Structure 1
């Protein structure tokens, strides 16, 4: 096992959370050879790439080969393993904060980001409103800002058109969701379509007409905060992935890292009333 040396490396508590959610290795069910590299090092490599924004080929030598790490990321993403880990961790975070394990109301928004030259022409587009040539990330979060769904499309796909597919996926995975808060880009015929086809009520949160400058809008600030959390991972400041599915997987890994750190964070000790009084008396003396 390699020595833990990077800020993105998992702690023992984080690894315990994720290890229990991973599928068994093929050799454990009699269908393949033993895995050459420990899974903890594989996940540490994925987290290092997401956190630092390096190229796959620039993986440090103390990690397993980059092709191995990339292969695990692709296979786990295609098999739905990453989404399962994300959903289970989200339930634990909600329970730890006194919420129900499932969310009945969510918030949706999109974010256009520039794409590198590695992104092919057929999976990128030009967002004329934001003047960005690249891709668009559509994200759905609960009222705590925890990610439920990530979908990546070319930037020229409108929010209304992408929302139909996103809401359909959301309804299949989370049929308990009844309310979606969104901005005015999701208004119009999409509201009637979602109510008739999916029994989901879309509530648009509009900017007050008399407002000037920056205004914090109810509900919408939650998803904006989640997007800022994801952007802290330098890999997501620009889209570098050839396949949109890989981009979705790496964005989900950023959300998983946030949740594992929140679940394993040591609580800060609040000063008791007696210790506060003793401190005041000592200062007075």
Structure 2
């Protein structure tokens, strides 16, 4: 990490060391000016202006017609929490529901935002989040046009700007095709730069933050799956934060017949994906109401 060479606080180091060795090292404010720009991050034109404030406004407008019906069901959720545990059974994520209902008393829009999105924003903006499985892995899922890629781009921008570190936004569909092109024969060769799989994967392995957009659209070629699995294995080993977006939850990969990840028979990888922190592109109250009604 480097700061501005003329900075009087850090003398270009980017870090401020307190004379008291018990106090933590602080990131110097001058590094914000050096944060990666949208082109360095690889953000497509559609997502270059993505940020949480704009996303919340767009999302609230899109969900405006659902606000009152959802808020009318808050009492049902409060009643569910009040019932004896032996009567309703174990409620997975009870603490999350309690926090949501408390937040609603301050600002009703908290119940309209996508389930898990506020935790993602808090992590990106302030670094505060307790990961259940250790690795900083996020899985954002929802149907087409639900805003999952925009939300991932907003998190990437906020995280890199806060820390002054780099990052990368990658289309999984494009990356998959590039990996597949490495193996094409001379009659249909698309890899005119003669890149190897290593050339394609290595620049992504140690990105401080990596977004892999449309993870579920990887090519069915088993060699593509092997390369992507190695990429995630490396990032897991190095404890590097990663965000994946997809149409469905990670469990959906197991259910897809002949899916390349399932053919790898890599149980550890699938388990890590299932253990990712989830963001579902439905209003948080709708998420909990649906769960309550399925009980």
Q: Could you say which TM-score interval applies, normalised by the shorter chain? A: under 0.3
TM-score, structure 2 as length reference: 0.27
Greater length-normalized contact order (CA 8 Å, ≥ 6 residues apart)? 2
TM-score normalised by the chain length of structure 1: 0.27
